[in-house]
A and B are shown apart, each in its own frame.
Chain A
């Protein structure tokens, strides 16, 4: 029996860097595994939610059940929960409900940081923004105010009564689209649910990737046929660097453009107004930069729509609302305006006054109660963008120079690696 040597590590780290790499890899892998499982579970849960709503329940009861949900606000969880019940909603309820399901861009009134790093840019097709829902063998598209645009068969999952259609019977998909009249095509700008999988909690980066890879597989991009009445097409998107911006702005596309949309890559699908999606327009990429009136004419003065609140306060549709002005109590009484009404104003020569980039006061001239088809007042960013468009617009050069400035900052002198 030999003596037992003892030797302890001397001037050494207890674990080698290789061991550290190994451990970090394992950590990364188990993190990703649990993320993947978590995702699968979330997706699955939304399907459970839907399965629990059995189709033979009286629509009236469903209707009533859905209303309290609306009052509680628009959480993304409830939105996927209710989409098929909500199809049965009618009138103003439906309008409100669907309007709330779309992610609404703010208008770009200043250029966000890290545009080239964190944002995608895409050319918005001109046309009607709508929600396309395919389920139970049919496809329905609804415009922003909830009214049905088309009811048709499509190659989307569950979108047509066709034998051998893939996917479980009660799976459904929801796409965020713009219907482009001239080529009768639904241009898909975002994917909200796919085969019953909710993408609400996924980043734009993931949704766009999913959209590009999944849509084509179904044949929805094929030309129209008996079981597929309209063609779908995914809108090309770019990283918002110089090249991307240039491609989106000047690139030739099969559709007429209506401005540029900017999506923050990390943003989830957030229903309602969000500063993480921005719309920007100028004359050369949109026919409708400055709002027109009912006759399609650009009015001399900028018109805005605000919501009347208690005590005559006038606010925008933002959350929280931005107060713009106040109506005289007597005037409110005289004209019989109710709290909640949407009122149209013109901006007078006094214009909008801003201090430190925040709105301070406006010269508003009362026009009258707004068109009944409107569901909401204007947002702050829209009012500001329109105002700037008339006075000192944000130009494409401004965007480009911001991006190139960002790049300069990133760039550091050449590194020479040598012995």
Chain B
């Protein structure tokens, strides 16, 4: 059955295009005609030490690709095909793969490791290849070093591929034992030790039981800590990676080791190679992440006994940790602000300092202030920048009370530095720090304002001036302006920005038009600031926002007139289109209601014309932005939007078909809802097309699952808009809702992410039912819904019994109970009375603290009373 594939595989890597293409096609043909033979041939090639390395490596790669794919539906297909192969083929392939692990060629061994993990990923959940782990580990101590290394690597990949719950604890113990022994200092071979350390990183998720056992945990921790002292840098780095992962996975087990770990990390940060130091800093960042999460969840008052308590590791480490991080700030790279991809120890240290501030609050201030005061005016730019960066980093976390005096004192200094400091780097950080001040210490919740009548003018002048500085500095100034505007979000009818509004808008537009605006994200930052300034503006300046409409439209128009552009230019053009559509979206929402609506709507035709042209360009981001803007426009236009539908419809359909860029699809689904509410029954002529598309979307396994709940909600929007005309869609939509409901009713015991998805799915389904019931209300066709009532009531009961619904679902669910009673009335009185929902669930909602739930429940109670009293 197997076939000679060496030549094909070599040809498939030929530089000659024709040869390569021919070989690729032959391989594809072989795969399609005889999958078993194809896979077996590849495995044989990979295992054969007499074959050239290149053909063996490619054989492994092709084999791997025949087992796994990125797209979920494709992956599922491949798995099914593998599982359908006959046992003898599979056994032969497995044997070839295991044999390859002892090949003298390192690359080939590594490829085989990955393929074995893929096969395990498919087979272990099916209880196939049960002997794999045992056979890998059977004689690991007697193996030659290179085979041992390959075996450990295979175990690592395997842990990455396979979920912990399909591996028996006995096997987990064996894997961990082998891995930790491989890491041990007693292991003389560095390759083996490195492979073992990296394998542990993957296996940590399997070690729950072992971390609960004091002795085993001590052993693992000791070995990991020892590995951080290995003379080999790669091993030290891999060992710190393990510590980082342990920080988040086993935070609650660390109390006993934290002092030692502090010493190890401090030494690494100060003395080790940067790649190692970065991981050491990351350990503390991860600890902060954990503590921030815990404190956020419990508001600092830990009471429960099953959840993770806060051990305040960060707080205890403050006296040593803060100076350590402050030292790193002085190790800036010359041009780090100009390089998008830069990541160095100073950046990591500053980021960690910010997290420490968030985790400990006020306590950080005295540890940082002396550093800032000492260095902020030093002649060396590194010291000034480090001081400023430290200051900016600690602005989120400590209370406004604690920071206010310091910030007020620093403000003038900052504004001065922004104007006069010779260093680009210092200015960049200063502008960023100002932005942080406005982000966290400016706004309606702050008692004593930082920005006053006395300094407002100066602040704005300096920021506008800074917008003319180098692109990276100007970008930060735009960011500062963003938060400056945001702070006035709910200022009331008179905004202190009003006198400067025109100047600010003009300056931002000028920045966006700078020749170098595409550097350092400057153009994006300028439009984002413009959006925020508009969003937070008051009626006082609405005339000026109105005047912005033709300006932005003209810019969008210009991007559509582009000549022949290079790929790069086209990409920038598309990005700009996205920004401009986003900006128009913000303006529409600002002006699309009274009193500016009438004036604004004069531009609607032209604007819609531009949006439609944007759909002619190939750019997912621009499409998404244009779609969002159209949704806002539909809401503003109301029934008048009908006139755009004939032209717009095809793009709506295109959006709904866009499986690949699922964000576009999701946004389009939302816009269908906007259109339904705007057009109401006038949407009817388009509903056949829209419903067909939505039903296709639901049945597709290619579409990202996050789009499915909104599609259900959209059914509700349509039904509410067209009322009893929804009749013809009932026979398609109801079964889909029903099966989705069944799926979402029984998914208990899932992880948080799954519960969240389940709830969003439930909410979508319930919103669909709500819309359908209310849409059919008062129609003689109401009786068509009666047959669905028992199932829907069951669904509500099951949601209630599962006890894992969130508040949104609770509100929607109790509303559906009311809708059902309201629309079907006495026809379902008996059924309702039998349901749990109409008693316990309703009572629970009636006594809810959430007034929206209570309101919905009161309404449901009212409707039920009527339904059962007739």
Contacts and interface: CB of A to CB of B under 8 A. Distances in A.
A and B part of one assembly: yes
Contacts of A117: 594-595
Sorted nearest first, the 7 A-B pairs with minimum C-beta distance are: A117-B595, A17-B528, A40-B774, A1-B198, A417-B551, A419-B513, A7-B343
A25 B628 contact: yes
A302 B234 CA distance: 102
B595 A18 contact: no
A416 B548 CA distance: 10
A6 B822 contact: no
B863 A45 contact: yes
A13 B479 contact: yes
Contacts of A4: 201, 241
B770 A6 contact: no
Interface in A62-114: 114
Interface of A: 1, 3-4, 6-11, 13, 16-18, 21-22, 24-26, 28-29, 32-33, 36-37, 40-41, 43-45, 47-48, 51-52, 114, 116-118, 167-168, 171, 195-196, 205, 209, 213, 239, 265, 410-412, 414-419
Given A11-B476, A45-B862, A168 B779 contact: yes
Contact of A44 (B598, B638, B674, B777): B777
Contacts of B405: none
Residue of A22, A415, A416 with most partner-chain B CB within 10 A: A415
Given A21-B628, A25-B667, A196 B238 contact: no
Interface string B138-162: 0000000000000001001100000
A29 B628 contact: no
A419 B515 CA distance: 11
B625 A18 contact: yes
Interface string B326-360: 00000000000000001100011011000000000
A29 B509 contact: no
B474 to A, nearest CB: 14
Contact of A37 (B153, B432, B541, B770): B770
Given A1-B157, A4-B201, A41-B818, A17 B598 contact: no
A415 B502 contact: yes
Contacts of B828: none
Contacts of B543: 410-412
Given A11-B476, A17-B528, A239-B598, A3 B778 contact: no
A56 to B, nearest CB: 14
Interface in B539-558: 541-544, 547-548, 551
B771 interface: yes
A415 B544 contact: yes
Contact of A118 (B279, B513, B528, B595): B595
Contact of B859 (A17, A41, A205, A416): A41
B853 interface: no
Contacts of A18: 578, 582, 621, 625
29 contacts: A1-B153, A3-B238, A3-B275, A6-B282, A6-B348, A11-B428, A21-B531, A22-B667, A25-B628, A26-B670, A32-B674, A33-B677, A36-B717, A37-B720, A37-B770, A40-B775, A41-B859, A44-B774, A45-B862, A48-B863, A52-B869, A118-B595, A167-B778, A168-B780, A412-B502, A412-B541, A417-B506, A417-B551, A419-B513
Contacts of A44: 774, 777-778, 822-823
Contact of B531 (A17, A26, A48, A418): A17
B635 A28 contact: yes
Nearest to A13: B479
B772 to A, nearest CB: 11
Residue of A32, A196, A265, A411 with most partner-chain B CB within 10 A: A32
Residue of A48, A52, A410 with most partner-chain B CB within 10 A: A48
Contacts of A10: 342-343, 347, 350-351
B269 interface: no
Interface string B597-631: 01000000000000000000000010011001001
A52 B870 contact: yes
Contacts of A29: 631, 670, 673-674
Contacts of A45: 822, 859, 862-863
Given A1-B157, A40-B720, A44-B822, A417 B778 contact: no
Interface in B502-545: 502, 505-506, 509-510, 513, 524, 527-528, 531-532, 541-544
Contact of A8 (B348, B506, B815, B859): B348
Contacts of A411: 543
Contact of A3 (B237, B432, B673): B237
B227 to A, nearest CB: 14
Contacts of B505: 415, 417
A114 B859 CA distance: 37
B163 to A, nearest CB: 19
A8 B594 contact: no
Contact of B866 (A48, A171, A213): A48
A168 B531 CA distance: 48
A6 B248 CA distance: 14
A43 B767 CA distance: 18
Contact of A419 (B502, B509, B542, B677): B509
Contacts of B476: 11
B285 interface: yes
Contacts of A415: 502, 505-506, 544, 547-548
A171 B713 CA distance: 29
Contacts of A419: 509-510, 513
A13 B528 CA distance: 11
A51 B547 CA distance: 53
B487 interface: no
B241 to A, nearest CB: 5
B345 to A, nearest CB: 12
A43 B771 CA distance: 14
Contact of A33 (B202, B244, B482, B767): B767
A209 B859 CA distance: 28
B661 to A, nearest CB: 14
Contacts of A213: 639
A374 to B, nearest CB: 38
Contacts of A167: 778
A279 to B, nearest CB: 23
A21 B585 contact: yes
B716 interface: yes
Nearest to B530: A17
Given A1-B156, A3-B237, A47 B778 contact: yes
B632 interface: yes
A323 to B, nearest CB: 36
Given A1-B198, A45-B863, A48-B863, 20 more contacts: A1-B156, A1-B199, A3-B241, A8-B285, A18-B582, A22-B628, A25-B585, A32-B673, A33-B713, A37-B720, A41-B819, A44-B777, A48-B825, A52-B870, A117-B594, A167-B778, A412-B544, A415-B505, A417-B509, A419-B509
Interface string B671-710: 0011001000000000000000000000000000000000
Given A17-B532, A41-B818, A168-B779, A32 B635 contact: yes
Nearest to B582: A21
Contacts of A16: 528
Nearest to B234: A3
Contacts of B862: 45
A33 B675 CA distance: 11
Nearest to B555: A417
A418 B717 CA distance: 43
Contacts of A6: 244, 278-279, 282, 348
B207 interface: no
B586 A21 contact: yes
A249 B428 CA distance: 62
Contact of B582 (A9, A17, A410, A412): A17
A37 B815 contact: yes
B560 to A, nearest CB: 19
B195 interface: yes
A128 B639 CA distance: 33
A48 B860 CA distance: 13
